[in-house]
Amino acid sequence: MLSITSRHQSILNKLQEEGYVNVLDLCKALDVSAVTIRKDLKLLEEKGLLFRSHGGASLSNPYINEKPVNEKEHIREEEKRRIGKAAAQLITTDDTFIVASGTTVLALARYIKPAGRLTAITASLNVALELNRHLEIDVLQLGGALRKSSFSVAGSFSESMLENFSCSKLFLGIDGIDLDFGLSTTNILEAQLNKKMIVAAQKTIVLADSSKFGRRGFGKICDLDEVDQIITDKEAPEHDVKALEETGIEVTLV
């Protein structure tokens, strides 16, 4: 059996390679109990070498603070463009769809080339303005309290509007994808609105760059079993991608 020092080094080596470790995987690899691994992770967290989460640990802090949309737009711009371009190809002739808020779904809006008459429902002012440039797209802007940090609306007015619609797709931007916690965002009002969007759409398509994996925002949107497809970039953690595909979620890497 490995010494505690050797176990800790093995855990840290795996973290450096993959960015995330799972308790059960470590039990098998190191031939020790889950209780031992959890004690190891606790000690390593106390030393500031990792962050524990339910069922494992990661190198980066999984909890997210909200950033203004104009700041977020310049983070991973190329990845967001590729994701947005791939998502735009899913829109069909005479489609009716919902676009949530965020910088990745804004990238989607910039790549949409109308086929027939499209109808788009959105919470985002920036998305609405972008889509309004096309004569072939009818844009329905949800109402409600304006969130200045995100240039989007949220609240009971926008939620009640969604009860009157049924759309083919929802394009959802999020702040965190966690295998245990599900999808989340930093704002609870936005999370509640996103829940209503999921109900109003036949298919939920998540647009998220690889930095969102293993992260958690304050407001939970839904569990992963409510997601149909995730479009992300090729740097997404292999462990997470495999786990998502095993649950039946289609993962598109761009």
- The tens digit of pLDDT for each residue in 197-234 reads 999 999 999 999 998 998 888 899 999 999 999 999 99
Determine, yes or no, domain membership for 219: yes
Is 63 inside a domain boundary?
no
CATH number, domain with residue 152: 3.40.50.1360
Question: How does residue 69 score in pLDDT terms, banded at 50, 70 and 90?
Answer: low
pLDDT confidence of residue 126: 95
Q: Judge whether 182 lies within some domain.
A: yes
Same domain, 27 and 113: no
Quick one: 97 and 205 in the same domain?
yes
Model confidence at 76, pLDDT cuts 50, 70, 90, reads confident
pLDDT tens digits, 154-165: 999 999 999 999
HEC string for the chain: CCCHHHHHHHHHHHHHHHCEEEHHHHHHHHCCCHHHHHHHHHHHHHCCCCEEECCEEECCCCECCCCCHHHHCCCCHHHHHHHHHHHHCCCCCCCEEEECCCHHHHHHHHHCCCCCCEEEEECEHHHHHHHCCCCCEEEEECCCEEECCCCEEECHHHHHHHCCCCEEEEEEECCEEECCCEEEECCHHHHHHHHHHHHHEEEEEEECCHHHECCECCEEEECHHHCCEEEECCCCCHHHHHHHHHCCCEEEEC
Q: Are 116 and 38 members of one domain? A: no
Do 136 and 35 fall into the same domain?
no
- Mean pLDDT computed over 107-136: 96
On whether residue 216 sits in a domain, the answer given is yes
Same domain for 248 and 155:
yes
| pLDDT confidence tier of residue 73, bands split at 50, 70 and 90 | low
Pair 74, 54 in one domain? no
The mean pLDDT of 132-145, rounded to a whole number, is 96
User: In terms of domains, do 22 and 138 share one?
Assistant: no
53 and 98 inside one domain: no
Which of 50-59, 197-206, 233-242 bottoms out in mean pLDDT, i.e. has the lowest? 50-59
CATH number at residue 38: 1.10.10.10
pLDDT higher than 80, residue 67? no
- 51 and 132 housed in the same domain: no
Region 131-142: mean pLDDT is 97
**Is 187 inside any structural domain?**
yes
Q: Could you tell me if 41 and 87 lie in one domain?
A: no
pLDDT computed for residue 75 by the predictor: 73
Whether residue 36 has pLDDT greater than 60: yes
Q: Looking at residues 7-32, what average pLDDT do you find?
A: 89
In a domain, 64, yes or no: no
234 and 111 assigned to the same domain:
yes
12 and 77 share a domain?
no
Domain, as residue range, for 232: 69-253
Q: What is the per-residue pLDDT for 163?
A: 94
